[in-house]
Structure 1
Amino acid sequence: MPPQPLIRHSRPTFYRSDISLGLMFLLVALIPGQSPAAEPAAPVFYEDNVKAILEAKCTRCHNSEKKQAGLDLSSPRSMLKGSESGRILQAGDADASLLFQMIDADEMPPEEKDRLTPTERESLRSWIQAGTHFRKAVKTAPAVTQHDIIPLLHLRCVACHGGRRQEAGLDLRTKQSILKGGKSGPAVVPGDPESSLLIRRIKSAEMPPRRKLVSVSVKPMEANELERLSQWIELGLPEVSESELQEPETLVTEQDRQFWSFQPPAQVQPPQVQHQDRVRNPIDAFILSKLESQGLTFAPTADKRTLMRRLSIDLTGLPPTPQEIDSFLNNHDPKAYEQLVERLLASPRYGERWARHWLDVVGYADSEGAQNEDKLRPHMYRYRDYVIRSLNQDKPYSRFLLEQIAGDELVDYRSGNITPEVYDCLVATGFLRTAPDRTFANITNFVPDRLEVISDEIQILGSAVMGLTIKCARCHSHKFDPIPQSDYYRLTAVFKAAYDEHDWLKSQGPRTLPYVSQQEHKKHQEHERQLSIQQGQLKQRLDQLKPTAPDYQQKSAEIKKQIDALKTQHWPAPRIRALWSRESPSPSYIYKRGNYLTPGRPVPPGVPAVLTSSDETLDFDQKAKNGKPVGRRLVFARWLTQPDHPLTARVMVNRIWLHHFGRGIVNTPGNFGRAGERPTHPELLDWLAREFVRQNWSIKSLHRLMVTSSTYRQSSEISDDAARLDPSGSLLSRMPLNRMEAEVLRDSLLYICGQLDETPFGPADSVESRADGLVTSQRGDKGWRRSIYVLQRRTKIPTLLENFDFPQMGPNCLQRGESLVAPQALHLLNNLMIHQLAEHFASRIRKESGDQPADQINQIYLRALGRPPSSEETEIGLMTLQQLEEKWKSESKDEKKPSDSSQKALTSYCHAIFNLAEFQYID
């Protein structure tokens, strides 16, 4: 484990040549009443003692060449420069020095055998403790500068004395505004903290006002913070420029940049193969080449029925109907399969199916999570609908990302002209609002709570779009990848104008926008007007009733019930859950060890250094043609979507591949770093990434390539050679047998039973907890809607979906697990809704096929499994139906209605079909 980043603090070092210091210690020891107990009997010199300790225990990792965490402990001069986080020594105070803290806590050195002995620790401690006597080795910064104080004032004071609010006319964001002061005059007197109004108000507990603390989610200044502020004033408010604190980028080397995923995708040509007849497109050449190198080849092509069911469920999430199957089987056009692909990609169901995959990786949920209340997000559904629409339109992935990362900076939404493009760009930024967020309440809206939201959003962005575990660098430089801690805070600075922990908007009302179309505003107003009219009429009827009427109680109760029912039909005012830039972000600092109470050096906005060349710096101060500044997020999004970006296209290509073939080319889809798995077919991944960009980032074009390949059209049969040489299936010697995901299972059940309401878009359907402890979605007039439109509350997931591995989003899901547990079988066997669906399925079969059992069995197989039954299956089915009917007849109290018994028998048979592995698995 590499060492933690340490603090930078410039101090002179203690050299043996300081003979006068030895005399001083002697004099101090001889002065009556003065005890030298806090210091060693003799001074500890760097060259005699400390140097040997550091060389033996520390400089293996922290030397001028390796410099882990940006720290070089090989000389006094390099120690004074500190680490990537800033100072490592607090002169005269060993306990406050991060260098000594980490050593004393046995965090460093990481290996137990290298830990310092008690004697060595005491020597190091004594050397730091005598720090006020160090001879200067280099010009050093003052003990306290504005970079120690400005973050402190932002944390404790700027909520009321900053850019948004300047109570008493006071702005405490800069040295200049502090000297200017407010209505009461200058806030400080340089050199005289006791006469400074700011210090006096804080000491008297007047500021911040205790009664206002919770309302602005601020805590009072701590004693050590007040002392630091006083020291800064006493020193005359010293400043040091940011350029003096910036260090050359030494933590990321050219060797680091050579790792495969940090290099742009290479231009490769499909290889030549022996079985050229099996190559339908370049994908097959790459896959077949590796198979042939292992003595393998493709499995036989699957039959047309299997291919149609596979393709239909894959692209739309629903099985084909018997009519669709017949049409495909009777289409003898050589391009019949390609025509089927085009029809399915053009279906509106395609967007509903593939939006779910994207919503997983971005952590979509209809509730805030993060605490027991799990407050609902009434406007979040707009983002879900945006994703569905974008995929159905085949919006280029580059544009898709631009809108989600910087949609508000792409368009002029404040003009009031809310076109469909403007609306989409605002809704798209919901991508940056998916993480669990408890900051809707004052008591859970303090800086640490806000930083958790930012951290989760960085994790979502990094894993979903860049395939990197960037969040790991929040507290220390990444342990595996060349991502220093400074990179994490540079990236958060990119989002600072919208996500500023010192200038925060609560997660619910304040952080929403009203910019929906005029049509929607009018629709909402008319709906509310009609409800008000109906409520008024009912109240008037209630007022007209007399206490004296014999049925007053009954009638008044009925009217009140109707009034209450109307109250539940109110729509929330149409707003957008968005993220937008608010200008004037606070300065960004590295938080040492992730602690917001210990800010290190300031950092500008930036991107991971390993993804840029050593001499390249991304300019975040760009100007548009009209002279206006280009938003930081827009600069970042454009960098992310440049054609030769090492990760963006690769990560998306890999994710689509994963959902078509059951596993990714890189089987850690959110981690393309050193700790992730290496690609099984690196050349194919690069070819696909470049092809993706060449075809204008078209996601549907990727689908066409993949599903029309021979690789995709293989059967799932496993030959003896494949079982021996490709047991995991990673070489794709056959198509994997995949189980239906939770939503596909639920939606397919509804669809084949004729109970799927395909009404698209709009607010989510509510869910309810039943007395038996199960959670279920509510049925509407036309049935149940698709699972993607069901309320996705983190703490109340429908039981059917939860049992079949629906993710809880903490904060996102990059690859779903697949469990095989008893509750799955028990749910399909015993659940009331499943029994109801079996009844609906039986009724539909009877309506379509009549009363002949053989015809009924044939139709059941076609609808549920996509194929007719074999003669043996028909025979077993007939026998089963007969036995079930006889059973129900014997148990029936009224044997004059044999149709009831036959209906129950057919229902039981349909229920059994739901439980077949063949229904739940996609061949």
Structure 2
Amino acid sequence: PVPNFLNARKLRMNARANNKWRPDSRILCGGALEAPGDKVTPGVLSALGVPVDGAAKGDAFQILDALDGRRLALAKWIANPANPITARSIVNRVWQQHFGHPLAANPNNFGAKGGKPTHPELLDWLAADFVEHGWKFKRLHRLIMQSDTYRQSGTHPQAAKLAVADPNHHLFAFRVPRRLSAEELRDSLLKATGELNTALGGLPVLPEINMEVALQPRMIQFSLSPAYQPSRTPAERNRRTIYAYRVRGQANPFLETFNQPNPNDSCEARVAETVTPQVFTLLNSSVTSDRAIALALRTEKEFDTLHLQVKRAVQLAYGRVPDKVEWERLKQYVTKMRAYHAAHEPAPVKYPTAITRSLVEELTGQPFEYEEILPVFENYVRDKKPADVSANTRALADLCLLLFNSNEFVYVY
């Protein structure tokens, strides 16, 4: 169904644009709008030697100066298999995604002033193979991840010598562990619990975030913006993080802690800092605690005995079964936590349906208050909280939380 945007106005084409009018494009001297220079027409980089499809007469690199088709012509030129930049730039970024650093440094400056490739023949071969097989990303990911380079050990037998010969790991002599990105971490939590909604496309969704952050006042143009209200159902909230709506000026605290980049800036490479707030976030945030309860409920639904529940939890989190020592220690831990939770009943969690806002009138200086209604929480389908489950489930959830906080879950080895 077509969404009904109540506040949207009808879009009307400008009368001059409808008559094929278009403004002149000029070089702005010093970047100033008040100092227009020579008139220019749309074109592409002639240095690459790739002509434009349907170019203007007399210049193979000039796009027809017409109102229609200019963007399409540019898109076709960028995606032309003969373009030497596009495919190399793509495979360079995919390589960086898997290994933590690219074959050619400075992915945002893939030219003469950027870093030279450490393995130019490999970069050329990957780019050619990528184009030859129809620009298929899944095949490219599979090709890299099945390579001997990707499947190397995380340690090197001559680590001391290698630290001197290749301190920045440009030779890829061993597999450096990579921490999951913020989006990968959230999606991995949902995948382990079986809650991840993998549907493609559609409108952005609003995941649940820390409630204090969601309800805090945010000033916008002498007033307060509406409170952040998550999507009503788990199926909506648990979509892949790529579909999460980005609120300008209000970052998702969980994702921000794990270095999700600012959407207002171009991100050349993900930062992978290790800081103290990440420990507290993984251990105490509602994101991980809710997912731990969900994983505990899943294992209880699939198996009746603690022995098999522990095995299944490790299997879902790590992709392997625990060894005998791990198995026994984890069962002992759950047994101990069962006794603790039997003696400690958690308080129920309530979501507000309205909040009181306080402001000062700008012209008079008089304070005033108003009540903001939160309609989403009136029929909100919330995640299971500690007070909603038994002591045994909470004990098993503590084990699941322990697994989520381990390096084996957070890092790709």
Asked if structure 1 preserves the Cα contact closer than 8 Å seen for 2:45 and 2:61, the reply is: no
Measure the CA separation in 1 of the matches of 2:148 and 2:76.
Answer: 36
Matching residue's letter, 2:141? H
Residue 913, structure 1, aligned to residue 375, structure 2: no
Measure the CA separation in 2 of the matches of 1:916 and 1:649.
Answer: 37
Q: CA deviation at 1:840?
A: 1.8
Measure the CA separation in 1 of the matches of 2:323 and 2:100.
Answer: 29
Measure the CA separation in 2 of the matches of 1:640 and 1:892.
Answer: 61
Q: 1:879 to 1:660 in 2, by over 3 A?
A: same
Alignment match, 2:225: none
Measure the CA separation in 2 of the matches of 1:779 and 1:801.
Answer: 20
Measure the CA separation in 2 of the matches of 1:693 and 1:840.
Answer: 42
Alignment match, 2:301: 847
Please give the per-residue CA displacement for 1:815-841, whole angstroms capped at 9, x wherever unaligned: 221121222211122112322222222
Alignment match, 2:72: 634
Q: How does 1:779-790 map to 2 (within 5 A)?
A: 780-782=233-235, 784-790=238-244
Unpaired segments of 5 or more residues in structure 2?
Answer: 12-16, 51-57, 215-227, 347-388
Alignment match, 1:873: 326
Which structure dedicates a bigger proportion of its chain to strand?
Answer: 2
Which structure dedicates a bigger proportion of its chain to helix?
Answer: 1
Residue 586, structure 1, aligned to residue 10, structure 2: no
Asked if structure 1 preserves the Cα contact closer than 8 Å seen for 2:318 and 2:408, the reply is: yes
Matching residue's letter, 1:589? R
- Structure 2 residue corresponding to 1:858, chosen from 311, 332, 349: 311
Measure the CA separation in 2 of the matches of 1:689 and 1:903.
Answer: 50
Alignment match, 2:180: 740
Measure the CA separation in 2 of the matches of 1:574 and 1:860.
Answer: 52
- Structure 2 residue corresponding to 1:619, chosen from 44, 50, 62: 62
Alignment match, 1:670: 108
Matching residue's letter, 2:179? R
Cα RMSD over matched residues?
Answer: 3.3
Residue 682, structure 1, aligned to residue 120, structure 2: yes
Task: State the secondary structure of the residue aligned to 1:601.
Answer: strand
Measure the CA separation in 2 of the matches of 1:857 and 1:769.
Answer: 29
Matching residue's letter, 2:253? T
Q: CA deviation at 1:761?
A: 2.6
Unpaired segments of 5 or more residues in structure 1?
Answer: 1-522, 529-568, 576-580, 623-627, 894-898
Residue 691, structure 1, aligned to residue 124, structure 2: no
Measure the CA separation in 2 of the matches of 1:835 and 1:705.
Answer: 36
Measure the CA separation in 2 of the matches of 1:804 and 1:815.
Answer: 14
Alignment match, 1:708: 146
Please give the per-residue CA displacement for 1:471-508, whole angstroms capped at 9, x wherever unaligned: xxxxxxxxxxxxxxxxxxxxxxxxxxxxxxxxxxxxxx
Measure the CA separation in 2 of the matches of 1:689 and 1:700.
Answer: 14
Q: CA deviation at 1:735?
A: 2.4
Matching residue's letter, 1:620? I
Alignment match, 2:351: none
Please give the per-residue CA displacement for 1:227-284, whole angstroms capped at 9, x wherever unaligned: xxxxxxxxxxxxxxxxxxxxxxxxxxxxxxxxxxxxxxxxxxxxxxxxxxxxxxxxxx
Q: How does 1:34-49 map to 2 (within 5 A)?
A: none
Matching residue's letter, 1:860? A
Asked if structure 1 preserves the Cα contact closer than 8 Å seen for 2:103 and 2:123, the reply is: yes
Task: State the secondary structure of the residue aligned to 1:796.
Answer: coil
Task: State the secondary structure of the residue aligned to 2:294.
Answer: helix
Asked if structure 2 preserves the Cα contact closer than 8 Å seen for 1:794 and 1:808, the reply is: no
Measure the CA separation in 2 of the matches of 1:594 and 1:639.
Answer: 27
Measure the CA separation in 2 of the matches of 1:793 and 1:754.
Answer: 27
Q: CA deviation at 1:573?
A: 8.9
Q: 1:592 to 1:872 in 2, by over 3 A?
A: same
Q: 1:635 to 1:833 in 2, by over 3 A?
A: closer
Matching residue's letter, 1:718? H
Measure the CA separation in 1 of the matches of 2:176 and 2:229.
Answer: 31
Residue 602, structure 1, aligned to residue 42, structure 2: no
Measure the CA separation in 2 of the matches of 1:634 and 1:777.
Answer: 37
Residue 761, structure 1, aligned to residue 251, structure 2: no
Q: How does 1:244-643 map to 2 (within 5 A)?
A: 523-524=1-2, 583-608=20-45, 610-612=47-49, 618-621=61-64, 631-643=69-81
Please give the per-residue CA displacement for 1:539-582, whole angstroms capped at 9, x wherever unaligned: xxxxxxxxxxxxxxxxxxxxxxxxxxxxxx9696999xxxxx86
Q: How does 1:197-212 map to 2 (within 5 A)?
A: none
Q: How does 1:116-155 map to 2 (within 5 A)?
A: none
Alignment match, 1:645: 83
Measure the CA separation in 1 of the matches of 2:331 and 2:158.
Answer: 37
Q: 1:778 to 1:637 in 2, by over 3 A?
A: closer
Task: State the secondary structure of the residue aligned to 1:711.
Answer: coil
- Structure 1 residue corresponding to 2:94, chosen from 637, 656, 662: 656
Q: CA deviation at 1:776?
A: 7.9
Task: State the secondary structure of the residue aligned to 2:27.
Answer: strand
Alignment match, 1:826: 280
Alignment match, 1:338: none
Structure with larger Rg: 1
Asked if structure 2 preserves the Cα contact closer than 8 Å seen for 1:621 and 1:630, the reply is: no
- Give structure 1 regions of 4+ aligned residues with deviation exceeding 6 angstroms: 569-575
Alignment match, 2:262: 808
Asked if structure 2 preserves the Cα contact closer than 8 Å seen for 1:587 and 1:602, the reply is: yes
Q: 1:597 to 1:857 in 2, by over 3 A?
A: same
Measure the CA separation in 2 of the matches of 1:629 and 1:836.
Answer: 53
Q: 1:597 to 1:612 in 2, by over 3 A?
A: farther
Asked if structure 2 preserves the Cα contact closer than 8 Å seen for 1:770 and 1:776, the reply is: no
Q: CA deviation at 1:868?
A: 1.1
Matching residue's letter, 1:805? N
Asked if structure 2 preserves the Cα contact closer than 8 Å seen for 1:777 and 1:798, the reply is: no
Q: 1:570 to 1:618 in 2, by over 3 A?
A: closer
Equivalent pairs: percent with the same residue?
33
Q: CA deviation at 1:671?
A: 0.8
Measure the CA separation in 2 of the matches of 1:813 and 1:584.
Answer: 36
Q: CA deviation at 1:786?
A: 2.0
Measure the CA separation in 2 of the matches of 1:590 and 1:665.
Answer: 35
Measure the CA separation in 1 of the matches of 2:10 and 2:143.
Answer: 40
Asked if structure 1 preserves the Cα contact closer than 8 Å seen for 2:210 and 2:285, the reply is: no
Q: 1:772 to 1:874 in 2, by over 3 A?
A: same
Q: 1:755 to 1:631 in 2, by over 3 A?
A: closer
Measure the CA separation in 2 of the matches of 1:764 and 1:828.
Answer: 25
Q: 1:857 to 1:697 in 2, by over 3 A?
A: closer
Q: How many aligned positions are there?
A: 342
Q: 1:754 to 1:612 in 2, by over 3 A?
A: closer
Report the TM-score, using the length of structure 1 for normalisation.
Answer: 0.34
Measure the CA separation in 2 of the matches of 1:791 and 1:907.
Answer: 29
Asked if structure 2 preserves the Cα contact closer than 8 Å seen for 1:777 and 1:790, the reply is: no
Measure the CA separation in 2 of the matches of 1:630 and 1:761.
Answer: 27
Matching residue's letter, 1:764? P
Asked if structure 1 preserves the Cα contact closer than 8 Å seen for 2:209 and 2:287, the reply is: no
Matching residue's letter, 2:300? R
